[in-house]
Structure 1
Amino acid sequence: MFRSTPRAVMAAVAAGSATLLLAACGEQATTGAGSGPWKPTRPIEYVAPAGTGGGWDTLARTSARVLDEANLVDRPMRVINKPGGGGAIGWSYIAQHQGDPHKLFVTSPPVLLVPLAGESPQTYKDFTPIARLNTEPMAYVVKANSPFKTFGDLASKLKSAPKSVSIAGGSGPGSLDHVGLAGAVQAAGADASQVKYVPFDGGGEALTALLGGHADAAVAGASEVTGLVKSGDLRVLAVSTGERSAILPDAPTLTEQGVEYVFDIWRGVMGPKGLSESQIAYYEEAYKKMIDNDAWKKESEKLGWTNAYLGSAEFGAFLDEQNESFSAILTDVGLKK
């Protein structure tokens, strides 16, 4: 039978203490506590809360590719599509992983609009803002042979006979396209609640309806209409940015036509609630460097995106302002829940 000597006992205790110390250090390295700046320790799940091919999917895959190829992140970015509910399915998934710094999602105005319309139990306050990345103008378009020559012509008709004009959009009532239209109509002096808005599943379907004579006008992102404008099938009445768009340089802005309204389709990145300052800072820095990367600039120019970086705190304040503005518009058109 083995009998422990005092020296053997002391050696065992020392070995056990060393094991515990190494384990504690390993845990600190994983969590980032007390071991310097945080870094991801496994692949980053990057959620696009929609199907493939849309704006969120394009943003996720483009930014993931640039971040990976430029070695701006320490682990691969793996894009996961979680479509449904105007984004609500993806947001619900992220909300189940509070405090997990290895999950991010791309976002845009629907993260505010869908909850305001009562279609999602989560709101933007249930997540951590990481960075706003870019913006894109909204375009108000008609067929090339339309009698409406300016946005003012369209607004005049909406004032005198609103139900005689149907306007197609690629999102549901109270979401992105509808709010971008309602705000412009209100600013032009018409009653936004009386506008005959016809929702479709995506900008492509809305523009197809316009071309097929099933709508009198349409509202969509500038990048979605560019090809049809260049081909001569569509004409732009106005874009919603303060200055003319680089991809639609001949299209006048709303403000040029006396309509004081600016609506940018902003896009950004958020994470689960409960991320640490070190984790937020890691991703902030990665995206800030990405914005200055030549490959990103080339993709942005091709897609009609304007870089508009905001860090976490500034992005959070921006979201508060946007939420208040959208709430007022949805109240005016009777869609806020």
Structure 2
Amino acid sequence: MNKTSVILVNLGTPDEPTPASIARFLRAFLSDPRVVEVPRLIWWFLLRLVIIPLRAKRVAHAYREIWWEDGSPLRVISGRQVVDLQEVLTDRYGEKAPVVAEAMTYGKPALDETIRRLEEKGIEKFLIIPMYPQYSGSTSGAIYDQVAQIIQRSRNVPDMTVIKSFHDDIGYIQSIAEAIKAYWAEHGRNEKLLMSFHGIPQDYVDKGDPYGEHCRVTAHAIASALGLASSEWSMSYQSRFGPKKWLQPYTDDKLKQWVEEGIRSVDIVSPAFTADCLETLEELNISYRELFFEQGGEKYHYIPCVNNTPLFINALAEITAKKLLLNH
């Protein structure tokens, strides 16, 4: 058995679309100082006494709208990515192929539990791939924190490497561009393409977070791969939370602006997510669709994430092979 593993790490998901399960997930997620930079004592009271009680029922309703028969879309798709990447790596490298596993930053399966389980099977080396193409301290940074905690607790420290980002990876860019082309071939193309990225507070970027620049690089690379003129597309940021100023333009404002300018049909895609989840299936595909129509828009197409499309799985395989020197 190969003594190397590649672990695909995503954000996490509630176990069930219920207020109780949502509350547990939000408590873990929003308690991370990487995610919310507010003095801990103040935030502890706000989170438990105000935010979670107010948000749990509303978020549970949103999850129920997009929940699949076999579970949370993010968890289901993550499992498919693991299976498909394992198949590709095994086909290419046989006994040299690393063991593919998944983990979540918040919820199950936890990264430390996944590594412990693999170590029990004889795995000694780990390649950790955060499934966020664009690095942010609030996402990938939290995974580095967990890796550091695992190292601190270990007498025999695991050999771990983390892929910081793949926002400009050629295979990743191609996988998105081809998914957009395939969607257009089947459903037709609208007047504008909007690339919506998950937002973060502006002050995070002001303090040195490269996320905004990574998003811009990704967006321009996709537009170039599609051969789009600057007038045919734009980028924006979604999912803002709280009173702080976040990266702009905001997705809802951009949609309103386009309607005011006479644009009646849009395509929207999110290169920030590698698996469809609440932020894409509910926020982009339902909430912003309703907003666009309310403003006077007429055609709105949501283009799914790369998920487990063959080109994206191939991109992950190439990233893995380069880092682990599998071709040598």
Q: What TM-score do you get using the length of structure 1 for normalisation?
A: 0.32
- Of Structure 1 and Structure 2, the greater strand share is in 1
- Of Structure 1 and Structure 2, the greater helix share is in 2
Q: What TM-score do you get using the length of structure 2 for normalisation?
A: 0.33
